[in-house]
Chains A and B, each alone.
Chain A
């Protein structure tokens, strides 16, 4: 069974610090990796995607992928209280028409 693992948290960081969110996945055939942010009571929104080994930067966000270790991470620099949310890692699964397998999510709390 394809699985995506994340620490549930909460991960607490002070404002201005770097938040590091981690995710591992079981399916070596996975091709695309996504990070969604979900505020309490809201729907998930896509913030980053990555499909090549290495780093991908977008503003304060950096996604890191290591397919050999089956590991993907999200770094948030200069964390803000507005970044407080649950971050969902999702991995592309190939089942004919591909679907996403989600982790349980990591709750991030950024204190002022």
Chain B
């Protein structure tokens, strides 16, 4: 496998459920990201991990809990979500935490989450 792989592709969960999104990158990158994409809104950065250390948390509610056990894997643990959390959740990676010419952002295919 190559690139950034996310599972599951689709997820429907109730407000009281606990679920996890998984992301794996095979690019040898050192930085990984969670983005949220809602209709009619820009991509929103949620979390950044650089060399497994969380370097940014954009005021995300505690019902979203990230985990980065190593530079290749990233999880997003979900619990007691709200219907407005329904969105496309995108994982991305880059060579280093400084995104630019030599370290562009590569996205996975996303998990389409529906909270009922």
Contact = CB atoms under 8 A, between A and B. Distances in A.
Interface stretch (A43-51, A59-67, A71-79): A43-51
A96 interface: yes
Contact of B105 (A97, A100, A104): A100
Given A43-B107, A96-B56, A99-B48, 6 more contacts: A32-B101, A51-B100, A97-B55, A100-B99, A101-B42, A105-B42
Interface string B73-116: 00000000000000000100000011111001111111000000
Interface residues of B, number: 24
A96 B33 CA distance: 15
Interface residues of A, number: 26
27 contacts: A31-B100, A32-B99, A43-B110, A44-B43, A44-B90, A44-B107, A46-B105, A46-B106, A49-B101, A49-B104, A88-B43, A90-B105, A92-B100, A95-B56, A96-B55, A96-B56, A97-B48, A97-B50, A97-B55, A97-B56, A97-B97, A98-B97, A99-B56, A103-B42, A104-B40, A104-B41, A104-B42
A85 to B, nearest CB: 14
* Contact residues of B: prevailing secondary structure: loop
A9 to B, nearest CB: 12
B32 to A, nearest CB: 12
Candidate in A4, A43, A88, A92 with the most chain B CB atoms within 10 angstroms:
A43
A87 interface: no
B100 A32 contact: yes
